[in-house]
A = this chain, B = another copy of it.
Amino acid sequence: MHGLMQDRPLLISSLIEHAATFHPRTEIVSRLPEGTVHRTDWLGVRQRARQVANAMRALGVGQGDRVGTLAWNSYRHLALYYGVSGSGAVLHTVNPRLFPEQIDYIVNHAEDKVLFFDITFAPLVEQLAPRLKSVQAFVAMTDRAHMPAIDVPQLLCFDELLDAQSTDYRWPELDEKSASSLCYTSGTTGNPKGVLYSHRSTLLHTLMELAPDTFGISSAETLMLIVPMFHANAWGAPYAAAMVGARLVLPGPHLDGESVYRLMRDEKVTFSQGVPTVWMMLFQYLDKNPQIDPRELGVRRIGIGGAAVSRAVLERFENQFGAEVVQGWGMTETSPIGVISKLLPKHEGMDPQALVKVKLKQGRGVWGVDLKIVDADGRALPWDGVAYGNLMVRGPWIASGYYRGEGGPVLDEEGFFPTGDVATIDADGYLQLVDRAKDVIKSGGEWISSIDVENAAASHPGVAEAAVIGVAHPKWQERPLLLVVKRPGAEVDREAVLAHLATRVAKWWLPDDVLFVESLPHTATGKLLKTRLRELYRGHPLPTV
């Protein structure tokens, strides 16, 4: 027997309608690629979004068709978020930091029908255009005055295209399971794979982002989105902001420390989300400008994800900014909320040193994400903060597979998605990452965290970067090999590094060998490319054999 409640689908269009109806004059501030600061409001974004939806019709983009963007965070990109998805088409946010051949692959794989791009990327688009077979129109996200002089067929001007459209539009009542947006994971192996979000998954994830146990986003917020709108939908914040009518600040490509600082200060930002790298740039700017007291920014919360938060970052935000750090773990496949680091009432009054350890864990489970850690045979491991295993997640905003079936079926028998991460979970449900599953070193039936050994090595003053990989060993199956890039001018040798490690990791985790190298290979998004390292050092003879 069904309940007798209204059968209303969960649709992205309802977000922009809510924001424009209840918060029409709340500002959306953008720093554009053109350099200027632009101001509109939720009413203005809805108008633009409706014009985008009408433009979709004009360009022959139907429901389910993919529309690509190569764009920074701005009100134009925001209008595409609502206009493209709201019309029933699929917004495909392409990461412009990928290698050109990856972008080529992605746009062709997604079969994007239209490609919107910021003028920053005009040269890239000109270079790629001949190979983007499915793209029928290239739209430069600017006004006529700033149109790039590039040789691309079907080049359109965003402002002109939209100005020509009616601001009347009736959003279709889609099936809530319809695809709404598409984001490819860069990955360190094989081709990028597409995560295809639905209206339903997006709305449920957005609702959870309002909870005080996650980001606690409210109408009282001025939210600065440093995390790019091409990274898992800017962690869902553009949707959450509309759901409550928060004020949005969008920095465009201006992510250097000074730009971020000035925008935070000038726009009185209360909450900002970004990866550790951006915060390091902000810190470097502040280091050079010691006359600035970051507490005067008045920022209340800093959301950090994408990589583990270090103690230094945590303490700087807490002590110098007076801001709470909200760490999270997630991935493109988890929309991205997986776990969020918020304290429990039991932590009140806890010794600050013990508390830091809790805060530096990736976070605690929230409703909507079932977690488990399993051993190599898929058996669930205990939540004791010690046992570690492959992390599996399940829930309505977790991917069930990849676009066009790439990678094949991925869920286990219980419907859990394998994250590829190795983690511990403690009795309070706090998760701590140990390593990537493929990077963990299997030694004598036990696992060694390559990340822990790398971090310990990197804490030596003479080490600029460190990588640890497993190398075949006849007795132990694998043993760790440490690769070190020295800091320029540093005097450091094998024995010094091993002595440094000896006091920091378990004895049986000590690398069997240390090699000094000129540089280490990275992915386009800056991650260590360990697959390449494993290829290069597969046959390295360990002195312990």
Contacts and interface: CB of A to CB of B under 8 A. Distances in A.
Contacts of A204: 10, 207
Interface stretch (A147-155, A190-198, A304-312, A440-448): A190-198
A537 interface: no
Contacts of A298: none
A2 B177 contact: yes
A107 interface: no
Contact of A218 (B21, B211, B400, B401): B211
Contacts of A415: 6, 8
Contact of A4 (B216, B395, B400): B400
Nearest to A4: B196
A428 interface: yes
Contacts of A397: 5-6
A195 B6 contact: no
Interface residues of A, number: 67
A213 interface: yes
A14 interface: yes
A275 interface: no
A287 interface: no
B400 A15 contact: no
Contact of A247 (B196, B345, B364, B396): B345
A220 to B, nearest CB: 6
A179 B2 contact: yes
B3 A177 contact: yes
A454 to B, nearest CB: 31
A367 B400 contact: no
Contacts of A364: 22
A219 B3 contact: no
A394 B1 CA distance: 22
Given A365-B21, A367-B15, A429-B22, A394 B210 contact: no
B2 A178 contact: yes
B403 A4 contact: yes
Contact of A200 (B5, B90, B367, B400): B5
Chain B CB within 10 Å, residue with most, of A23, A178, A398: A23
A326 interface: no
A227 to B, nearest CB: 20
A3 B367 contact: no
Contacts of A417: 6
A180 interface: yes
A212 B208 contact: no
A68 to B, nearest CB: 16
Nearest to A7: B400
A208 B208 CA distance: 8
A208 to B, nearest CB: 7
A175 B2 contact: yes
A395 B8 contact: yes
A385 to B, nearest CB: 14
Contacts of A23: 344
Contacts of A367: 14-15, 18, 243-244
Q: Which of A178, A198, A247, A335 has the most CB of B within 10 A?
A: A198
A28 to B, nearest CB: 14
Nearest to A17: B370
A394 B10 CA distance: 13
Interface in A120-178: 175, 177-178
21 contacts: A1-B90, A1-B178, A4-B179, A4-B195, A4-B400, A5-B196, A5-B397, A6-B394, A6-B397, A6-B399, A7-B400, A8-B415, A18-B367, A22-B428, A210-B212, A212-B212, A212-B220, A213-B218, A216-B216, A216-B218, A220-B344
Q: Shortest 6 CB-CB distances between A and B: which pairs?
A: A3-B198, A1-B64, A212-B218, A5-B201, A207-B207, A210-B211
